[in-house]
Amino acid sequence: MIMSAFAERFDFSGKTIHPFVTYAVSDLGTTMETYRDISTGARISPGLAVRGETVRRADPQVRAWLRRISLLR
């Protein structure tokens, strides 16, 4: 909810948002829809959800995601 409160108050026009979350149950849940709804004028890239129990082993998953969204070569 804290990110939603921030996003509602910030002007994301012309910006790209790269959502990522850790989770226990809901994967990305409604994250993508929420950011699309409250971030008018922004581009929303594909998100990444990492299960909390696997965070310590998620480096390959995170690196692959960063490559997909062109933030890592």
Backbone torsion region of residue 12, taken as left when φ is above 0, otherwise alpha when ψ lies between -120 and 50, otherwise beta: alpha
The pTM (predicted TM-score) of the whole model is 0.82
Q: 16 forms bridges with which residues in the sheet?
A: 43
Q: What is the CA radius of gyration of the chain?
A: 13
Per-residue pLDDT of 4-60, as tens digits, reads 788 888 888 999 999 999 999 989 988 889 888 888 889 999 999 999 999 999 999
Task: Give the pLDDT of residue 40.
Answer: 84
Tell me the CA distances in angstroms from 68 to 10, 25, 45, 47, one per residue in order.
Answer: 26, 24, 10, 10
Checking if the pLDDT of 2 tops 90, the result is no
Nearest partner of 4 among 14, 15, 13, 17, judged by Cα: 17
C-alpha to C-alpha distance for 50 and 53, rounded to whole angstroms: 8
